Amino acid sequence: MENIQKRIRDLYPLSEASFNKIAGRLTKVELPRGHVLFQANRIETSIYFLEKGIARAYCYDAEKEITFWFGFEGDVIFSYNSYVNNEPGYENVALLEDAVLYSIDNTVLQALFRSDLEIANWGRKLAERELIRTEKLFISRQFRTASERYHELLKAHPQLVQRVQLGHIASYLGITQVTLSRIRSENN
């Protein structure tokens, strides 16, 4: 819990009172590997803070499944379209390891946004941080080859390859598993 609390406060400075309005509504959840947190085409009503474990967001197009996000300890897990527009999301999110999470109800959080200036700014920062992260990813995608992106990913998350199967990593990189295998075998 302390870890998550620190993460929450690091995002935007909150007074004790405002912080407690959020912290008081967090519920601890322990869920097993494989559990599906969010499903596509549903309006999701919770937001999760991931304390332990790895999560993966993916969606389908025809038969093809594509992973487009990995969540690690400290990350916030939400279905953007449910969270922002109260509309069904397009992503599935599943746990790749047994996980410890803290959840908060989206309705509760939205009410806090409307009533508390500090929390509204905290929510602003949350969206802004995700925005920067997503844009960086998008730009890296245009500039780098698959091989470069793989090595970037290895550097940023060295434990990823130990903990996540390569098929998921390949689809996250926008390549097939076969291509990833080739990349891995070439240099070292």
Partner DNA sequence: GCAAACCTTTAACATATGTTAAAAAAACTC
Partner DNA sequence: GAGTTTTTTTAACATATGTTAAAGGTTTGC
Q: By the criterion CB under 8 A, which residues form the site for a copy of itself? A: 59, 61, 64, 66, 68, 80-81, 83-85, 90, 113-117, 120-121, 123-124, 127-132, 134-135, 137-139, 141-143, 171, 174
Neighbour tally for 73: CB within 10 Å: 15
Q: How far is the CB of 169 from DNA (least distance, A)?
A: 8
The answer to the question of residue 159 lying near DNA (CB under 7 A) is: no
For the chain, where are the E strands, in sequence order? 27-31, 36-38, 46-52, 55-61, 64-71, 76-77, 92-95, 99-105
CA distance 40 to 91: 5
The answer to the question of residue 25 lying near DNA (CB under 7 A) is: no
State which of residues 156, 178, 187, 188 lies at the interface with DNA (CB under 7 A): 178
Candidate segments 20-28, 71-79, 115-123, 171-179, binder of DNA by CB under 7 A: 171-179
* CB proximity list for 28: less than 8 A, separation 6 or greater: 1, 100, 101, 102
Residues near DNA (CB under 7 A) are 145-147, 165-167, 174-185
